[in-house]
Amino acid sequence: MSYRTPAHRAAAVNEVKNALLASRRAVLTTHLNADGDGGGCEAALASWMRSNGAEVWIVNPTSFPNNLRFLIENDDWILPVGTRKARDLCDSADLAVVLDTGEAPRIGRVHEMIRELPTVVIDHHPIGEKAIGGISLRDPSACATGELVFDVIHAAGGPWSRHVADGIYAAILTDTGSFRFDNATVMCHRVAAEVIAMGAEPAWMYERIYGSAPLRRYQLLRYALDSLVHEPDAKISWMVIPKEPYDELGVTAEDLEGIVDIPRSIEGTQVGLLFRDTSKGEVKVSFRSNGDVDVNALARTFDGGGHVKASGAVVPGPMDRAIEAVLERTRQAVADSQNGQGTS
């Protein structure tokens, strides 16, 4: 294989590889509302570690997304967080592997469950203030956590299987917006090429993940589009997902994927936002930037975070007040960036 792990992460890759190979009973987890990167990494690592003879289980803080279940080699490997089985596993495991986040609050109640375990973190987000300790492979230059998981398995010399390849491919596909974002680097395409060579099929994967969506997604989108506001002077655009249709249509977080890209993509927009009521009376805000504004820094002022161009936060409700507070700071962040001050 011609692929080479970037030198700056090779030592961390090796350390993580050794820790994973030494584990006999591991629990894998990822952030709240797992996405294709978190879920894909879990799928790949579970199959790979099990092929090395370890017992490996997936315990996520929120339910495993239905549209990603096909990635997991065996459905029984997913243990719902509230179950006795999940608790027993966390008590008897010798390792916890945290994927696609390194922040304690982002793994919700799983953090309490794995607190006593040795921990490995594999993540590509900028490190935050509530970082989980232990052995870590963190590299914000990686397009997806899947790229780092690839490096770990590559360092071990495989074994590769269709499930390992598919999980990594799904992780990279989804975190690069199907190879459209500027994290779709040379490295990203190299890793994609390697896993395609090992059995991942791009057209099939695209169809499984994006090729069909439940009707409720589009019914909800109709309401969201109705709320669309563009502020040309402030260079921001935003939409609100109303609570009633959200609840009535039975929409899930995975149905919302990509909807926030609509306000961001409106001509003349620097920052696009999506607001949604949560069941706890708070408001979830998603930020998307066209690049001039660091929305990771912006979300952090609301105790959230993410990436420079994509981030999120949960702010106190009610909706009207949340919108006003967030828009005010967003307008300021855009204005600062235009004045060359930046937000970080």
Q: Which is nearer to Mn ion, 123 or 194 (CB)?
A: 123
C-alpha 277/C-alpha 36 separation (Å) is 23
Q: Considering CB under 5 A, how many residues would be counted as binding Mn ion?
A: 5
**HEC-encoded secondary structure of 151-220:** HHHHHCCCCCCHHHHHHHHHHHHHHCCCCCCCCCCHHHHHHHHHHHHCCCCHHHHHHHHHCCCCHHHHHH
Q: How many helices (H) and strands (E) does the chain have?
A: 13, 11
Tell me whether residue 170 or residue 236 sits nearer to Mn ion (CB atom): 170
| Distance separating alpha carbons of residues 305 and 214, to the nearest angstrom | 29
Is residue 139 within the footprint of Mn ion (CB under 5 A)?
no
Site residues (CB under 5 A) for Mn ion, limited to 165-194: 175
Residue 235 or 307 with smaller CB distance to Mn ion: 307
Is 143 or 251 the residue whose CB approaches Mn ion more closely? Answer: 143
Q: How far is the CB of 174 from Mn ion (least distance, A)?
A: 8
Nearest-angstrom CA–CA distance, 197 and 14: 23
Residues in the chain: 344
| Min dist. Cβ of residue 109 to Mn ion (A) | 21
Query: Least Å distance between CB 243 and Mn ion?
Result: 28
Residue of minimal CB distance from Mn ion? 37
> Whose Cβ is closer to Mn ion: residue 305's or residue 337's?
305
Least Å from the CB of residue 189 to Mn ion: 17
Query: Binding mask 80-119 vs Mn ion (x if CB under 5 A, - otherwise)?
Result: --------------------x-------------------
User: Is residue 71 within 8 Å of residue 43, measured between CB atoms?
Assistant: yes
Give the residue, chosen from 26, 28, 33, 37, that forms a contact with Mn ion under the rule CB under 5 A. 37
Measured from the CB atom, is 286 or 337 closer to Mn ion?
286
Which alpha helices (DSSP H) does the chain contain, by range? Answer: 7-22, 36-51, 84-92, 110-114, 145-155, 162-175, 186-197, 202-210, 215-226, 243-249, 261-264, 295-300, 319-338
* Site residues, Mn ion (CB under 5 A): 37, 100, 144-145, 175
